[in-house]
Amino acid sequence: MAARRSRIPATKYPVERFTLDNGLRVVLTPDRSAPVIGVAVVYDVGIRSEPEGRTGFAHLFEHLMFQGSENLEKLAHFRHVQGAGGTFNGSTHLDYTDYFETLPSNALERALFLEADRMRGPRLTEENLRNQVDVVKEEIRVNVLNRPYGGFPWLTLPPVMFDTFPNAHDGYGSFDDLESATVADAADFFRRYYASGNAVLAVSGDIDVAEATTLIERHFGDVPARPAPQRPDFTEPDLTAERRTSYTDKLAPLPAVAGAWRVPDPITDFIGYLPYVVLAEVLTDGDASRLVERLVQRDRTVTSLGGYLGFMGDPFDVRDPTALLLQAHLPPGGDVDKVLRTIDEELDRLATDGLTEGELARTQARMATHLLRDTDAVLGRALRMAVLEQQRGEPGLLNDLPRLVGEVTEEQVRAAAATIRPERRASIEVIAGGAK
Amino acid sequence: MTATVPPGPRTLPPLGPNRRLKLPQQAERTLGNGLTVIAVRRPAVPLVELRLWVPFGRVHLARGAMLSQTLLSGTPTMTSVQIAAELQKVGGGLAAGLDPDRLMLTGTSLVTGLDRMLEILAEVLTGATYPKEEVATERDRLVDRIQVAQSQPAHLARVALLKRIFGRHPYAVQTPETDEVRAVRPGVLRRLHTERVHPADSVLVLVGDVQPERALDATEKALGGWAGAGRTVDLPPAPPLEPGPLLLVDRPGSVQSSLRVAMPAVPRTHSDHAALQLANLIFGGYFSSRWVENIREDKGYTYGPHSLIEHAVAGSVLVAAAEVATEVTGPALLETTYELGRLASLPPKEDELEQARQYALGTLQLGMSTQAGLAALVSAYAGNGLRLDFLAEHAARLAKATVADVAEAAARYLAPAKAVTVVLGDAERIAPSLAALTAVETA
């Protein structure tokens, strides 16, 4: 029997969209299979939009959105969400900032109240600002300064690949910039970017659409209307010559390397972009993938390996310019040049000889599993749909992703592989300063 | 726009009625070979989650770790690449992991691939070959990974804490020495597999878009032939905590200190457990706790402090953990001791308890709402001899616990006098401020 393809299944989460008079876009996706809801508010502002001299500001501001709002004291937001049996968080990305809760469904109206209240305005005080600058500095110490490979490669590679401040700078921010931030900066940032017209609200899970619509109108309807700001042009030209740097990480016991290559615009050229998403998995997903088999198993030049789209691992929620990334940790004394040469060689082989029997189909089947698994969490659906609405006006794309990934052809993957050339590569090497 | 709230102060809307905890449809069977199989229906997405718990207590650490690294490296008919590729074909994947209680095989696939994933699992369980080349590769990789772990403060703090808590118990050391790893050969792994990877006392959990009875049939067909009756090994009970001087572990140049405070705890089935869980939440077990509001939201000493009851087969322990700025290490310990002492000495407020209770009950619902969450829960319960219906029992205990119950649990378990404290950091800079507060010994 010929190699049989696993049929790629799809989800059929229903999608309702509407826009309030103040410009707030809303996405509802009901699913009553469990008594839980996901609530996400996404603002169209991220690391790329922060002003020069204010690195890390988008993230710092995210913290300030939890410090009390029009009708809520400091600490109240946390207490009201958790006291309803829910969990919360927020996160800052290159192109957006999200705020979200997962809750038992009897807390729907409470969650809407909380999000509407801070959309009207956070309480920006000097005391809260100083407190959160301290907290963010500890966050940076935990995640970057006090550990090996901190910020590798998501903070260390963009400045190699990009030339302009929005794309190249450190999104966690320098301590100097963080300490220079003022309440006035925060108020300006809020006024400019946290506009109803610049936001999307998504609610998923155990909701009745009519009831949820009424509640959303009740709580968000009178949030003052402010239009979305004009989004700046962040485009940069592709590299025409290889760029390569290195740095010593005094805590790192093993050498490491990461390379990045520009990919087509994920929004305006989605069909051109998808083959790169598949290519990353063909190269690195599991023991049967190209680069793991070659570099880890056969050559033993690499001890662990990863490949993905987007500096924050965000294939479907980032705009142009973005990249395909490959990163590897090497055994002690490993030869980074050799690893990069082998990667070039494997991509060349893929572009020239194509894929083996069944290689593409099995990779696509596995990708479908990962995509479906992500959407199983009620919050995963709300967050993903909110961003798809914000960046594409197409929240329902979530249901179609497994199928679209499955429709990528061998020819497209080969063509994508042919563009992953050393002369278009930006790479960074970590020299193991902590090697024993 | 219709029916908007009038301007002016707005009040928080009340919660709707609590949703009842509904347990999913499930079935269980013990196969002839002693394997317990539990299948749970949650059809949300067309996937199935697999968890296989194989008791693995008292296994030689380096050999156990290497077995989990190489279990999927080959069978008489398949190489490691073929195993991975065959699983991928059905959207599947398997991974093995180890802790001092069990070997755990974890998998996910498209639900249409369940039979195939079980077939491959059976082939691995009955015929893993531990090929020489692959074992050599994985040996080097494990050594590399251990070196990376040893450069991470959280890992080093954990190593010191476990040693301090568990003394000579098998839980005391959970990361093998690199020299021991280098000495592991394929023959040893094959012997360990024969001796310990057997179906008796193992539990397989399947959760997903399955008909439970049919999933049991499929499992019986695939795994009915997994034989072998090696030894069963019981772990001795974990020793009680022995309070003593704060243990200071030096990490020169560290820009943060890793603060770890261990306190006694009880297993899930103990009559104090629900009250202790609530006391822990009020202390530091969630964001809206006294400890987090104090050392993060008031003082800005730290980013992500958390306090958690860790359950293992041989005993439970409560661990509070925070990474704090080096210059405030002493003050952070002071506030930690203060918050523990305050809760151990004075009853919590009624509204604090209600908030913690709602959180505990709500997050039970959230945890069950995904296939992966449900699989992890069912497997953790089953590995400790419990079934999903215990969740309803636990929820009822959480609902009933009074302020007095929680105060009593706090006095019994959260008293700072009973704590075992380990701090990893730049000793030269932090020792004086710690020594001002408590007796300190240096590792």
For the stretch B88-91, contacts whose Cβ atoms lie closer than 8 Å and that sit 24 or more positions apart, written own/partner, are B88/A285, B88/A286, B88/A288, B88/A362, B88/A363, B88/A365, B88/A366, B89/A6, B89/A358, B89/A361, B89/A362, B89/A365, B89/B113, B89/B116, B90/A6, B90/A365, B90/B116, B90/B117, B91/A6, B91/A365, B91/A366, B91/A368, B91/A369, B91/B47
Q: Are B301 and B325 in contact (CB under 8 A)?
A: yes
Residues B217 and B166 in one domain: yes
Task: Assess A298–B contact: CB distance below 8 Å, yes or no.
Answer: no
**3-state secondary structure (DSSP) of residue A247:** strand
Question: Which residues 59-118 of B are in CB contact (within 8 Å) with A?
Answer: 72, 80-85, 87-93, 108-110, 112-113
Optimal mutation site among B48, B86, B88, B298, interface A, most CBs of chain A within 10 A: B88
B288-335 per-position pLDDT tens digit: 999 999 999 999 999 999 999 999 999 999 999 999 999 999 999 999
Q: How far apart are CA A127 and CA A139, in angstroms?
A: 19
Give me the helix-helix angle, B329-345 and B427-435, nearest 10°. 40
Task: With beta carbons less than 8 A apart as the criterion, state whether A62 and A97 touch.
Answer: yes
User: What is the H or E stretch that residue A248 is in?
Assistant: strand A243-249
Q: Does B354 touch chain A (CB under 8 A)?
A: yes
The CATH number given to whatever domain includes residue B131 is: 3.30.830.10
Q: Does A179 touch chain B (CB under 8 A)?
A: no
Asked, as a colleague might, if the bond just before B267 is cis with ω within 30 of 0, I would say no
Within this chain, do residues B385 and B293 fall inside the same structural domain, yes or no?
yes
Same domain, residue pair B211 and B344: no
> In Å, how far is B376's CA from the nearest CA of chain A?
14
Candidates A80, A110, A141, partner chain B, best to mutate (most B CBs within 10 A): A141
At residue B229, the pLDDT reads 74
Beta bridge partners, B306, equal: B321
Question: In order of start, what are the domains of chain A with their CATH numbers?
Answer: 16-220 (3.30.830.10), 243-432 (3.30.830.10)
Give yes or no: residues B378 and B409 share one domain: yes
Q: Does residue B108 sit within a domain?
A: yes
Does any domain span residue B10? no
**pLDDT of amino acid B8:** 67
Together in a domain, B202 and B252? no
Helix (H, G, I), strand (E, B) or coil at A265: coil
- Residue bearing tokens 């429709």: A407
Query: A217, B13: Cβ pair inside 8 Å?
Result: no
Residue B21 lies in a domain: no
Query: Which chain B residues contact residue A286 at CB under 8 A?
Result: 84, 87-88, 93
Minimal-distance CA residue of chain A relative to B13:
A110
Amino acid of residue A205: G
Range of the domain at B364: 246-442
Type of residue found at B200: A
Model pLDDT, residue A1: 35
- The order of strands in the sheet holding B440-442 is B306-312, B315-325, B256-264, B420-425, B246-250, B440-442
Q: Name every chain B residue with its beta carbon within 8 A of the beta carbon of A217.
A: 1-4
Strand order, beta sheet including A323-329: A243-249, A425-432, A256-262, A323-329, A304-309
pLDDT at A4 over 60: no
pLDDT digits (tens, 9 = 90+) for A206-243: 999 999 999 999 999 999 999 999 999 999 999 999 99
**pLDDT < 50: residue spans in chain B:** 1-2
- B133/B261 same-domain check: no
| Residue of A113, A130, A362 to mutate for B, most B C-beta atoms under 10 A | A362
Which residues on A lie below 8 Å from B45 (Cβ)? Answer: 11, 372-373, 375-376
Beta-carbon count within 10 A of A267 CB? 15
User: Do B378 and B284 fall within a single domain?
Assistant: yes
How do B315-325 and B256-264 pair as beta strands? antiparallel
Burial of A409 (0-12, 13-18, 19+ CB in 10 A): exposed
Lowest mean pLDDT among A51-55, A62-66, B5-9, B57-61: B5-9
In this structure, are B71 and B159 located in the same domain?
Answer: yes
> Would you give the distance in Å from CA B381 to the centre of its chain?
12
Evaluate whether ipTM surpasses 0.85.
Answer: yes
The answer to whether residue B173 is domain-embedded is yes
Query: CB-based contact (8 Å) between A6 and chain B?
Result: yes
Mean pLDDT of A308-324: 96
Nearest chain A CA: its distance from B257 CA (Å): 9
Contact A113 B286 (CB under 8 A): no
**Whether residues B188 and B259 fall in one domain:** no
- B47 contact A CB<8A: yes
Q: What is the pLDDT of residue B2?
A: 44
What tokens appear for A379 in the block? 């919050």
Identify the helix (H) or strand (E) that includes residue B49.
Answer: strand B47-55
- Does B232 fall in a domain? no
Do B193 and B254 reside in the same domain of the chain? no
Residues of B in contact with A107 (CB under 8 A): 15-16, 362
CA pair distance B193, A142, nearest whole angstrom = 39
What value does the mean pLDDT take over residues A124-128? 97
- The bridge status of strand B203-208 relative to strand B36-41 is parallel
Q: How many domains does chain B have?
A: 2
Cβ contact A75–B12 (<8 Å): no
B16 within domain boundaries? no
Report the predicted TM-score, pTM, of the whole model to 2 decimal places.
0.96
Q: Which residues, 6 or more positions from A284, have their beta carbon under 8 angstroms from its beta carbon? A: A290, A291, A292, A305, A306, A307, A308, A326
Chain A CA closest to residue B94:
A286
The answer to whether residue B436 sits within a structural domain is: yes
Which residues 145-174 of A have a C-beta within 8 angstroms of B?
145-148
A positions 58-97 inside 8 Å of B (CB): 70-71, 74-75, 78-80, 82-88
Inter-chain CB proximity B140 and A134 less than 8 Å: no
B155 and B251 part of one domain:
no
The full DSSP string for B121-169 is: HHHHHHH----HHHHHHHHHHHHHHHHHHTT-HHHHHHHHHHHHHHTTS
Asked whether residue B253 is domain-assigned, the answer is yes
Q: Amino acid letter at B382? A: A
**What is the separation of C-alpha B133 from the centre of its chain, rounded to a whole number of angstroms?**
32
pLDDT at residue B6 in the model = 55
Closest-CA distance, A242 to chain B, in angstroms, reads: 30
- Helices B350-367, B273-280: axis angle to 10 degrees equals 100
pLDDT, position A5: 61
Specify whether B210 is located in the same domain as B260. Answer: no
pLDDT tens for A139-159 read 999 999 999 999 999 999 999
Q: In a 3-state reduction of DSSP, which class is residue B226?
A: coil
- The shortest CB-CB distance from B19 to any of A105, A145, A218 is to A105
- What pLDDT does residue B1 have? 40
In 3D space, the residue among A198, A154, A111, A116 whose CA is nearest the CA of residue A382 turns out to be A111
Task: Return the amino acid letter for A278.
Answer: V
pLDDT for B231: 72
* Gap between the Cα atoms of B79 and B66, Å rounded: 17
pLDDT of residue A436: 74
User: Which member of A78, A137, A252 has the closest CB to residue B287?
Assistant: A78
